[in-house]
Amino acid sequence: MKPLYPALLFGALLSQSGNLFANDATEAVALTELVVTSGFRPTAQEATPASVTVISDQTLAQQESRHLEDVLSLAPNINSAKGSSRARFYQIRGVGERSQFVGHVNPSVGVLLDGIDMSSIAGAASLMDIQQVEVLRGPQGTLYGSNALAGLINLRSNDPTTHPEGRLEASVGNYNSQSLSGVYSTPLNDEAGLRLAFQQNKSDGFIRNDHLNRKDTNNIDETFLRAKLRWVASDDLLLDFTGFYADINNGYDAFSLDNNRRTLSDEPGRDRQISKALALHSVWTGAQSYQLETRLSHSATDSDYGYDEDWTFDGFDPAGYSAYDQYRRTSDTTTAELRWVSLPGGEIFDETTRWTVGLYGFHQNQALTRTYTYLADDLLTDYSTRRFSVYGELETDLNDRLILTTGLRTEMSRSRYQDSVDVSYRKTEHLWGGRLALDYLLNENTTLYASLSRGYKVGGVNGGFTEAELAAELQGFTTETLWNYEVGSKGSYLNDQLQTQIALFYQQRTDAQLRGNYQPVNQQGFVDYLYNADKVNHYGAELQFNYALLSGLNLQGMAGLLQTRVKDQRAEIHRRDVAHAPHWQYQLGLSYDTGSGWFSGASLEGMDRFYFSDSHNTRSWDYTLVHAHVGYKTADWSVRLWGRNLGNKTYAERGFFFGNDPRINYDPRAYYQLGAPRTLGVTASLNF
C-alpha cells in the first residue's frame, strides 16, 4: 500500500492515527480526546475557543439513536420542533425556525451530513453509521455564513477501512417498532476503499385512530442508504465520494381535540420525503505550505406533507367542518467550495500565524404546490437563492500561551420569489459576518477563551397570500443580524479522567425574524408570516463534563441556562421570552462498559417549560425523562435491553392555540403534540 503523505495526515486524517481509512478507539481510564472536524482544521474539543459538543459513536449507541432528534438532549441549550413525524427544525440558544408551510425558510441552524447541506431537509438526518455529531453554538459567520446564524450541527459518518469488516444490527420494541441496519467496509485495492451502509426503521407509532380503528396512522417507515468511496489518487491527492438516499413514508396524525393519543381523523396526514444527494471532498497537498480542499455537493428532495385540519371525521358534529391541507415541495441544493489551509511550515508573519482563505457558492431552488380544501385553485410558489462568499481566518500565536483568531466572511445573496397569487420578490443583499477570539492557556490543564462573533440571515417575503389576507406592510421582512459575546473555560483534570467545559454568553439580535400567525375574519385557515422585531436579547450559561470514574465506569452530563427577551412595542410578545427557549435543561448519565462482557447505563434528561410560538402564550410543561439499558457483548456480537421514558412521563413537543372544537363553539384553547411514551426494546448486533 502507498504510504500516506504527511500533509494529508494533517488535514482530512488528523484524527485517525495514521490509519489510511479509519481508527479503532482504545479503552483506557483516561478519556479519549475528541476532535472537532467541522472547523477549518481538525482541532481538539478542549482547544476550540467556542462552546461545542462532540457526541461520539459510542454515546450514540448507548442512546439507542436512529435520528438526529434522538441525541440533541446531550447538548446544552438545544431544542427542536416537531409538528411533523420527525423534528426538521432546531433551535440553539433560543434561535431557530419551528415550521415551514407556504413561505420559504432560511434556516438559522445549519445541518451538514458529510458536507451535504441538510438544513432544509433535516427530516432525513439519519444517524446511520455516524462516527460523531458536532454541535457548534453561536453564530458561525466565518465558517458557514447565512445558514448558521444560531449555530451548526455537523454529522460525520464513518470512513472506509483498510481491512474488510461488517456489522448487522436488528432491534424490536413495543408499538411494533423494528429497525434493521447494516454496514460493510472493504478495500478495493491498495489505493481505494468502499463503505456501504443501510438502515430501515418501522413503527406503528403511539397514536390510535378511533374513527378508522387503526393504530398506525402516525407510523414511521424510513429507509436510508449511503455509499462512501475513498481514493488515494496519489501522494498528493485524496478523494472522498459520498452518495446518500432517503425514502421516508411516515404518517402524520398527531393532534386530538381531547389532547390525548387517540385521534378521530378521517383523512390521516402524511409526512413523506425522498432525498438523493452526492458529495465530493478532495484534499490536494502538492504545495509545501498549504493544502487545497474542494467540496462539491448536490441534493434533490421531493416532500409531501399534509394533515387533516379539522382532526375529525365528516359528521362528527353538526357545526363541524372538513378540510385537508397538503404541501408538496421540491428542493434542489448545490454547493461548491474551494478552501486553502496552511500546513505546518506554511505560517505567515514570522511563522506565527496559521491561515485559511476560501470561496463558497450556494444555489437552491424550491417549488411548492399547496392543495387546500378552501382554495379554489392550488397555490404554486417558486423560490430560488444564489449566494457567493469569500472568507478568511488567521490564527496567530501572540506568545506561548495566547492565541488570537480573527475571521471575516462577506457574502452576496440574490433571492427571487414568484407565486400564483401575483406576489413577486427580487433582492440582492451584501452581508458580512466574522469572529474575534482569544484563547489563553492558563496552565497545562486549563484553557480560557473570550470571543466576539457576528452572524446574519437574509431577508425575504411572506408569499402566498393576497393583500386581503396579509397586509402589504407584512409581506416583506429584512435581514437579521446577531452579535454573540462569549467567555468560557475548558479543562482536563485528574490525569485526563475529567473533562469540563463552561461558557457564558450574551446575544443581541437586531431585526430578529419572528413568526406570527392569525386567522382572517370570515376565512378558514391561518396566515403564517415572518416579521422583524427591533431587538431580542439572549443570555445564559452552559456546562458540560465527562468523568472516567474507573476503568469502564463513566459519568457525563450537561446543563444549560437561558433567558431571552423581546424588545419591540409592536410585537405581541414585547418583553416576553421567544418561542422554544426553555430557561433550563439538563442531562446526566452513568454508564459502565469495559469493552467486553456486561455493560449498562442510565440517564436523566430534563427541560423547563417554554412558549410554543411568538404569536400566542401557550406553553409546554417541564419534565424529566429516565432512560436505561443493560446488555452483554463479545468481540463478535452483542445484545442489549433498553427503555426510554421509563417513567411514562407525558410531555409536549409542539403546541398551538386556536379554536378547532365544534363541541365548545370553536372557542380558542391550547392543543398539544405529545412526545413518545414509555418505549422498550431489545437490540442485537453481529460483527463480521
Rounded CA separation 532/203 (Å): 40
Neighbours of 338 (CB within 10 A): 14
Asked whether the beta carbons of 672 and 254 are under 8 A apart, the reply is no
Of 217, 177, 158, 148, the residue nearest 70 (C-alpha) = 177
Phi, psi of 299 (to 5 degrees): -135, 145
Give pLDDT, residue 506: 98
Largest CA distance in the chain: 82
Rounded CA separation 652/674 (Å): 4
Asked whether the beta carbons of 491 and 445 are under 8 A apart, the reply is yes
- CA angle, 233 as apex, 230 and 236 as ends, to 5°? 110
First to last CA, the chain: 23
Rounded CA separation 147/124 (Å): 18
CA 567 to chain centre: 28
Of 241, 245, 211, 238, the residue nearest 229 (C-alpha) = 241
Neighbours of 522 (CB within 10 A): 5
pLDDT in tens, 199-236: 999 999 999 999 999 999 999 999 999 999 999 999 99
pTM: 0.93
Give pLDDT, residue 4: 32
Place of cell 394533515: 307
Q: Which residues, other chains included, contact 600 with Cβ-Cβ below 8 Å and sequence gap of 6+? A: 591, 592, 628, 629, 630, 631
Point out which residues pair with 307 in neighbouring strands. Answer: 325
Question: What are the CA-CA distances from residue 411 to residues 163, 215, 431, 507 (Å)?
Answer: 44, 49, 5, 22
Phi, psi of 174 (to 5 degrees): -70, 170
DSSP 8-class letter at 139: -
pLDDT < 50: residue spans in the chain: 1-28
Rounded CA separation 434/456 (Å): 10
Give pLDDT, residue 523: 63
**Three-class SS of residue 20?**
coil
Rounded CA separation 625/675 (Å): 11
Rounded CA separation 258/311 (Å): 10
Point out which residues pair with 371 in neighbouring strands. Answer: 326
**Three-class SS of residue 418?**
strand
Point out which residues pair with 685 in neighbouring strands. Answer: 169, 638
Rounded CA separation 45/535 (Å): 32
Rounded CA separation 353/346 (Å): 9
Residues written for the chain: 688
